Structure 1
């Protein structure tokens, strides 16, 4: 497969159109969507077929004569980064195995190995809140403590793993829940931590709630 086939912007537009289509698509439909000349579309399709991105075959008959040729994409769009590709592959494998608990444990284990689950301070709830905010800030979530919440609530506005999390929430969100619980429980053992994925459009919510024997909220 030659990735040089995607060096032309109009050719990528044709491939994107085929990927978004409900089924095999003919030249005339591609002309309508892309605004390109039919000969240009045919030329780009030949390149994409030869490079392995697209397949061609006969379409349904339209009266007499030979059936017209239709095209379909045979490759998925590549993720924007190698890390995104890796996360999608691993999350899909874990998701197939129902490994939400394993993903949560992985988040906990990473924090323990990184030394971030340090001992409680003089103000356990305040320390737990500050450490949770620091952790999710570093991860790129743009966290913000909700001022009017009855418990400690942290709104997470910008999940950097949103695309993967939407596809595999049982894995990605479970890992983030493990991170949250590990950092909170290490600082304030009497504090229960919960992560609510997609609590509002574009926002996940972390809540820290004192248990019956837990500390008073700071």
Structure 2
């Protein structure tokens, strides 16, 4: 099941993108990803007219941010004693970077929807019923003992929670905004069950998740029990 610290992941992605803000580093990155094979420091330096030391510094910075992978190969084609040391080479990493403001969690929604479709095909369960169960299971898992408190967890997953004078928690951002706009009932009820699961996992009894669509807010509110 997909569970991670989204804030930490986003901070890492932001740092990676910031690393590309330096012009020479961006040129090196673009050069490496255009090549069909890993690139050495000397090759990159020659191609871009840079000093080898400059190319090496920036390539290593890109590798530190997981934007490039480092591999070692012998370019001589020989092996064994006398073959020389393997060359340090760079290639595009498999890391995918996605940063959006406000915060969005489309991958999370996509996983839940795919799991629901697969379960429906395998068992005959209506897709919506499977989706609600999968969402609630994930929410319960996110709220397992040892996780952050409710408010912190909501912040981590991009809901932008705000306490209201009524005692409710309003969610000022929908992490599934575009999906909810085009498929309102499906996505909002999925979100409702996700947040019900979070409350259940945390053992939170001071709030109940309820649908309360409001312009500019998430469709779900957390309200004191009535």
The TM-score bracket by the shorter chain reads 0.3 to 0.5
Per the normalisation by structure 1, the TM-score is 0.40
- Point out the structure with max Rg over C-alpha: 1
* Bigger share in strand: 1
